[in-house]
Amino acid sequence: MSSESGLGDGGPFRVGLLGHGTVGGAFHELLDARAEAIEAEVGRRPQVAGVLTRSRGDFDDILERSDLVVELIGGTDPAREYVLRSMAAGRHVVTANKQLLSQHGEELFDAARGHGVQLRFEAAVAGVVPAIRVMNETLAAAYIDRVHGIVNGTTNFILSEMARTGETYAEALRQAQELGYAEADPTEDVTGKDAAAKMAILARLAFNAPVHLDQVSYEGIERVTVDDIEYARELGLSLKLIGTAERIGRGIAVHVHPAFLYSGHPLATVDGAFNAVTIESPAITEITLSGPGAGGPQTASAVLGDVISAMIPPPSLPPPAVEQQIVTDVEFSFYLHLEVADRPGVLAQVAEILGLQGVSIRSVVQKGLGQEARLVMVMHPVLESKFRAAVELISRLEFVRETPRVIRVIEETF
């Protein structure tokens, strides 16, 4: 880094912010909120030195006052020029711009190399899912055969809704727009072009070969019908818009299209606006990463992670520990299995004891087994100490035949 950039000085770490829309605005807020914690961890406080939008800020002035530039404008022009000029001036760059990288990646990587600066782009593929970091760092030495991805949240949401509710494509798209998962103009998403750009970037990293967006064949979801999805469900299949980058013979193929998956596939259960990337390599078998694929705060979090990585060499040790209270009595939802005598009043007595300890029953299944009966219940979340106290009392009831069995239930669904 050039000394004029100010890197290495003890003062604030100045971030020039290009774009202040969905992601840029969320990034600005997140950076302000986390600045103190970042300073405590890495020794310098990041601060936004200037903001460029169509109506405010001057690029040259912001560049002059920045140690690092974050590009969140989108599109190729003028983003490409700003990124190149930032790197030529010795500034590290962080971007979330898949269109730019999938069309001008090699030029930008060469420029970063030539100027000795970092170009980080975790947020350009699959939002906050750390696919880029894992491929660049964790799997740096792995020979990758294939990458499959659900890398567009809008289309995954539409297909999931069609499967869940039986809605048509048009109805599910309208709902995605109402909920903010799809833009007013959803063309790039539903035609598969957005996913194609992301797969070009993943292919570049997986195979270390230049892959341009134009070399990715893609097909969207506009022609998918409710019938396709319903028949597939009867066959145990789910429909996803899948991006694939794979080695074929001595070459590589990169494509995006709707595809049916059998239920055992790691991507089959990725629903709603979630994204996921599966990386296959003989050495590691397979890794699947999943999480929110878009959204201002989520994407901003990946952008800020890149900024911190550019501020300091990535830490190999965790930051110094700070003492915290260790909580031992935790709320859980519990499954309780009781073998009891089959006679009237048993369930009422069990329920009463649970109620007195503040444990509320969510669901009960009762099954007669001749003289005996089986009571299986799931509770609403309750402190473990209260639940254990209730179970202790229940186990002493004369009609309880065996030691009660208790298993925790994780209630969240994603």
Ligand X SMILES: NC(=O)c1ccc[n+]([C@@H]2O[C@H](COP(=O)([O-])OP(=O)(O)OC[C@H]3O[C@@H](n4cnc5c(N)ncnc54)[C@H](OP(=O)(O)O)[C@@H]3O)[C@@H](O)[C@H]2O)c1
Which residues carry out catalysis?
Answer: 198
- Please tell me the distance from the alpha carbon of residue 168 to that of residue 176, in angstroms, as a whole number: 12
Please enumerate in sequence order all residues whose Cβ is within 8 A of that of 395, keeping only pairs 6 or more positions apart, or say none.
403, 404
Name the token pair of 277.
């990337």
Measured from each CB, the residue nearest to ligand X is 21
3-state helix, strand, coil in the chain (%, to 5): 40, 25, 35
Residue-by-residue DSSP string for 344-389: TTHHHHHHHHHHHTT--EEEEEEEEETTEEEEEEEEPPEEHHHHHH
Alpha-carbon separation of residue 332 from 67, 122, 386 (angstroms)? 47, 35, 11
Binding site for ligand X (CB under 6 A): 19-24, 52-55, 72-74, 78, 96-98, 123, 127, 294-295, 299
Please enumerate in sequence order all residues whose Cβ is within 8 A of that of 105, keeping only pairs 6 or more positions apart, or say none.
200, 201, 204, 210, 212
Residues linked to residue 276 through DSSP beta bridges, in sequence order: 150, 290
- Please tell me the distance from the alpha carbon of residue 149 to that of residue 368, in angstroms, as a whole number: 48
CB-based contact 276:270 (threshold 8 Å): yes
CB-based contact 163:243 (threshold 8 Å): no
Helix extents (H) in 51-138:
59-64, 79-88, 98-115, 131-133
Q: Which amino acid is at 135?
A: M
Please enumerate in sequence order all residues whose Cβ is within 8 A of that of 268, keeping only pairs 6 or more positions apart, or say none.
238, 240, 261, 262
- Please tell me the distance from the alpha carbon of residue 23 to that of residue 21, in angstroms, as a whole number: 6
Name the token pair of 353.
């004891």
- 3-state SS, one letter per residue, for 201-228: HHHHHHHCCCCCHHHCEECCCCCCCHHH
- Please tell me the distance from the alpha carbon of residue 170 to that of residue 16, in angstroms, as a whole number: 40
CB nearer to ligand X: give 94 or 377: 94
Q: How far is CA 366 from the centre of its chain?
A: 40
